Amino acid sequence: MSNGIRLVLLGRQGAGKGTQAVRLADHYDVPHISTGDMLRAAVKDGTEFGLKAKAVMDAGGLVSDEIMVGVVHERLHQADATSRGYILDGFPRTEAQARALAEITADSPLEVVLNLEVPEAVVVERITKRRVCRSCGRIYSVDSPPAKDWICDTDGGDVVQRDDDTEDAVRKRLELYAAETLPLVAFYSEAGQLVDVDGLGSADEVFDRVVEGISARRAG
């Protein structure tokens, strides 16, 4: 078995973070920790927190740093993550979250921050075509649907468009990405932790590049 990994994925909405995160989690045998998936699970459970988060998410806004830092802190301290590591997807999204993450991981620092690069014009088209399994989160596209009637190939769940993949919410999320999250690329680059990967091409092609980039970083 491989040694696991402690990795953060950066990239704008629609860059393919979720798709690559699932493959990376399988490859390195570590949990895929997606803050978006965790929030959507809370929404589905109908908790008070979930309802509040849903309003923010549907408008394309960001849930507060304080709440997100608490959620991630708790998750990274669970046994699977402390023993083997994790693929962290959707966090950090602001400089405050990045600083908090450095504290959370002080004893066991991040090994790689992977930046998946895809131009804005490309991601807008990808997001509007994106469809997601309501129960397991598997990602499809109108160009590559499940085998049967928008029923998930993995678990038979309904495959639908996300409530926050509307044009308005997407535009707002991309603006927030540019303002709040893009500065983290420079932050991690200065810290010597960044690996840039071209996110254009098929999911398989991108995955090969990603694993190569990670191996080169770990070797060097």
What tokens were used for 80? 């699977």
23 contacts ligand ADP (rule: CB under 6 A)? no
Half-sphere exposure of 183 (CA within 13 A, CB side): 11
Residue type for 148, please? Answer: K
Q: Is 75 a catalytic residue?
A: no
Report in angstroms how near the CB of residue 46 gets to ligand ADP at its nearest.
Answer: 17
Distance in Å, CB of 201 to ligand ADP, minimum: 20
User: Measured from the CB atom, is 93 or 138 closer to ligand ADP?
Assistant: 93
Known catalytic residue at 93: yes
Interface with ligand ADP (CB under 6 A), residue total 16
Catalytic residue among 93, 131, 138, 209: 93
Task: Tell me the pairing of strands 5-10 and 139-141.
Answer: unpaired
Q: Which of 59, 72, 131, 68 is nearest to 94 (CA)?
A: 68
The answer to whether residue 63 forms part of the interface with ligand ADP (CB under 6 A) is yes
Task: Give the residue, chosen from 93, 131, 138, 209, that forms a contact with ligand ADP under the rule CB under 6 A.
Answer: 93
Of 152-181, binders to ligand ADP (CB under 6 A) are 164, 173
Catalytic residue chosen out of the listed positions 6, 40, 75, 162: 162
Pairing mode, strands 5-10 and 112-117: parallel
Give which of 128, 127, 88, 129 is closest to 110, Cα–Cα.
Answer: 88
Q: Is 23 a catalytic residue?
A: no
- Asked if 187 touches ligand ADP (CB under 6 A), the answer is no
218 in catalytic set: no
Which of these ranges, 87-95, 104-112, 143-151, 208-216, lies near ligand ADP under the rule CB under 6 A? 87-95
Active site residue 162: yes
- What's 55-117 look like in SS3? HHHHCCCCCCHHHHHHHHHHHHCCHHHHHHEEEEECCCCCHHHHHHHHHHCCCCCCCEEEEEE
Stretch that binds ligand ADP, among 2-10, 77-85, 86-94, 192-200 (CB under 6 A): 86-94
Q: How many residues does the chain have?
A: 220
Give how far Cα 214 sits from Cα of 64, 128, 157, Å.
31, 30, 33
Nearer to ligand ADP, 81 or 219 (CB): 81
User: Per DSSP, what are the bridge partners of residue 194?
Assistant: 113
Tell which one of 16, 90, 157, 199 touches ligand ADP (CB under 6 A).
Answer: 90
* Residues within the interface to ligand ADP (CB under 6 A): 13, 35-36, 39, 56-57, 61-63, 68, 90-91, 93, 97, 164, 173
Active site residues: 17, 93, 130, 162, 173
